[in-house]
Structure 1
Amino acid sequence: MDDEGFDQEGWLTRIGHSGPRTPTLETLRALVFAHAHAISYESLDIMLGRVPQLDVASLQKKMIYSGRGGYCFEQNMLFRAGLRSLGYRLTSLQGRVVRGLDIDAPRPAIHMLLIVHLHEGDYLADVGFGNLAPTAPLLLKPDVEQDTPHETMRFIDVGGELTLQSRLGDQWAHIYRVIPYPRYDGEYEITNWYTSTHPSAPYLSNMIAARPGPDRTRMTLFNARVIVRHSDGRSERRTLDGIDQYSSVLREEFGLNVPDEDLAKMLEIVERRGAKGAPHPFFS
């Protein structure tokens, strides 16, 4: 995608970053943390038949100016434009999501992620993986436990693909395997269309949002269920009832400016075809 017209000032204001802009590891840490906390992960427009648009103008209109979030392609495309505007060198990659699955599960490449090339080494930067997106850049090196403002994470090699894992309580949870080959933006367009239109994808029928919180907590919305997960594995759960509660949670807790008319349509879709049991394993 062409980054022409990117509003660097608008992006930095939106994420609340007023610190240094030099393309260093320290700045990258601050940017990942700020972006992840300010712009929630969400896929709500997909429920209304709106395929996410990945051009810079559309991304800015939605996530910078309209108080909305986005899912992986939107989030990491916007973040990539921001990093490039500051002078970072990076490579765009894809990952095979194995959250809740066997670590070597034969998964398609449906997740976008970024590798930032720094003097200290190559670092993963990913602000678009729902309730387990790393809130700090991670050195792309196997078998090194790396602390973040939320979980401790590491990579392990699985058949030549480094697999990102997160320690949840006393267990290591698989997240995704990194495919170590650069991707063209046209491949993201194809995958974005697939994930936002395929009838078996969770986004068409379910309300999904996620945001990191204070004290190493993570908050996830999956239909009527709101889950706050602590770093030691404990979870607090509550169930929403009625459009007023949904509206309050989306706007006040996830920072999402969702029109009431759209929210009403989403709740109708959830009632007709949304998942009735536990959250999808990707968002549990």
Structure 2
Amino acid sequence: MERDGLTACATSFIQRLQLHPYIFSQFQRVMNDYSTDKLNVPALVSQLDTLFQFHPDFLTEYKIFLPLQLRPTLPSPPQSPKKKGPSLIVLKPYIVFMNKVQKRFADEWGVILEYLDTIRKLTQAKLSNKEAYNAIMIIFGKENQDLIDEFEFLLLGRNGIRKEKKKNSMEDKKKNSMEDEMFELDMNLSRRKTAEITAKELMYSLQQHEDQLINIDIYFSAVSLGYLRKIYKEEGSSIITRLRDDPTTVLPKILKKLESEEKVLIKKWRHIHQKKKNPCKLRV
């Protein structure tokens, strides 16, 4: 039996949300607080509105899962007359699954990145369901067949790998191009945030231990150093050298640069979302 409109919409929503690791992790935290009754629905809405403030598509789509009285301007999803209260419970299996993936591969971030990249390609129709399933088998490995089976059930449909639909129109190509740009921007936002947190941690350590020699490679990952090189362009190599030689002097300048870069990235996000008109529509 085909999934109903609400479940199909939840799958699409979670697939795309997983492409934004930082936002998804915060979303998981908020939803966990809701599921354990630490947050009521109005408090949940307030936190999600804040989390998605720079993501108009998510800001609109998550409200589909709210109680009817809190989304008067949105279409009503199909519901059983016996079911009362929020429909947010439909999102829980997807959140639990991503938690499992993150815990299982906590020391293998490359696996999680490959998983997210596969989700991105699946969402953009660059991979068929069968191709995505085969890719996940390789990424997770046979020893994690339970995760592979759960991935197939949740993200490829209840009946396993479904019939494929080819997308060849110019509209789909434009959409895929925009999704690529959005993915790249979100990755840069995530890398920027990680670099900022690391820089602040290093600055604090320097303040506590003024005479201690600091190895920046213990603090900054290769990805974060690569991001600094990228935003400084031709000055990238010299800024890394100066960071190694005199972190106390260079760190404040790097933090200022990262703050400036955040404004640029957010401006680009807003520009893209002004062009994007693809709200999740339920099938009645």
By the TM > 0.5 criterion, same fold? no
TM-score, structure 2 as length reference: 0.30
TM-score, structure 1 as length reference: 0.30
Give 1 or 2: higher helix fraction. 2
Larger radius of gyration: 2
Give 1 or 2: higher strand fraction. 1
